[in-house]
Amino acid sequence: MALRKLRHYFQAHEITVVTHLPLQRILHNPDATGRIVEWALKLSSFGLKFESTSTIQSRVLAEFIAEWTSTPDEEIKETTLPGKEADRDWIMYFDGAFSLQGAGVGVLLVAPIGEHLKYVIQMHFPREMSTNNTAEYEGLLAGLRIATDLGVKKLIVRGDSQLVVKQVNKDYQSPLMEAYVDEVRKLEERFDGIQAEHVPCAENDTADYLSKRAAFKLPVEPGTFLLRLTHHLSNHQQGRTSGGSQVLASTFLPSPWGCRQGCYHGR
């Protein structure tokens, strides 16, 4: 809306966009597709400059220290700006849920600066095509794809499914899940490093809560991304690829509100 109404003003001035979201990385990601590419093209004609809220806070703090203390310049420089987020480890929590209404996935991405990006991912395909294990794998794959779209290079993956984590770490094999494992290996090549860790449910409660909202098709809280998967990755009964998972649409409801935490397993 602002883009259409203020086009002439935007074209005549450099615009600084202050946000806690990694919009610059998303818009300039060479692997981006669909609606992201469409918006990147629309915004390319404007002189947009993106700054994170944490960067501004760090700058204010550094300027305050420089003005009110006699700290040497070299010590002040160490506290001015955070390093590039993509060069440091991100943390991803994932979980899958299975219910009478269908299956769903929850993903929580934690940036190096501490920002939380929450995703509720509804799986819109026949219920009989889903199991708890396939839902867990869809959660892992969705999280990895989101991370690559954000330009993340170093990622720590945490989930409460021992099967998935052990297979990712090559400690266990299951012929029924081969198609999923193959897809994970393909996505691994787009990172500089991935570390998979098994965590108890108590440490995965946010992803678990998000996955339940997806599986039961409950309303999404403000501040959460809503994505929809329309194609199943594999025929899990035969372990063969039958079509890639596909994100059909996404919605973001901006708000600083955090989600409630809970832990429930309907295995």
pLDDT (0 to 100) of residue 261: 33
Closest CA to 107 of 256, 250, 267, 266: 250
pLDDT (0 to 100) of residue 208: 96
pLDDT (0 to 100) of residue 230: 75
Residues whose CB is less than 8 angstroms from the CB of residue 152 and which lie 6 or more positions away in sequence, other chains included: 86, 90, 109, 191
The span from the CA of 184 to the CA of 97, in Å, is: 19
pLDDT (0 to 100) of residue 238: 36
The span from the CA of 206 to the CA of 23, in Å, is: 23
pLDDT (0 to 100) of residue 149: 86
Closest CA to 229 of 130, 109, 93: 130
As a residue count, the chain comes to: 267
What is the gyration radius of the CA atoms in the chain, in angstroms?
20
Closest CA to 89 of 243, 239, 195: 195
Question: Which pair of tokens denotes residue 3?
Answer: 């883009």
CATH of domain 87-252: 3.30.420.10
**E-state strands within the chain:** 15-19, 48-52, 90-99, 102-110, 116-123, 154-159, 193-198, 224-229, 234-235, 240-241, 247-252
pLDDT (0 to 100) of residue 144: 94
Instruction: Tell me the H-state helices in 28-112.
Output: 35-43, 53-68, 73-77
Question: Which pair of tokens denotes residue 114?
Answer: 């501490």
pLDDT (0 to 100) of residue 203: 96
SS3 256: coil
pLDDT (0 to 100) of residue 257: 33
140 phi and psi angles, rounded to 5 deg? -60, -50
pLDDT in tens, the chain (267 residues): 565 665 555 555 566 766 666 666 666 666 656 666 676 666 666 666 666 655 555 555 555 545 554 444 444 343 333 445 556 899 999 999 988 888 899 999 999 988 899 999 998 877 666 778 888 998 999 999 999 988 899 999 999 999 899 988 888 887 778 888 899 999 999 999 899 999 999 999 999 999 999 999 999 888 899 988 876 654 433 333 334 444 433 444 333 333 333 333 333
Largest Cα span, the chain: 69
pLDDT (0 to 100) of residue 125: 72
Residues whose CB is less than 8 angstroms from the CB of residue 1 and which lie 6 or more positions away in sequence, other chains included: none
Domain boundaries, the chain: 2-77, 87-252
198 phi and psi angles, rounded to 5 deg? -85, 135
**Residue 125 near residue 232, CB atoms below 8 Å:** yes
The pTM (predicted TM-score) of the whole model is 0.62
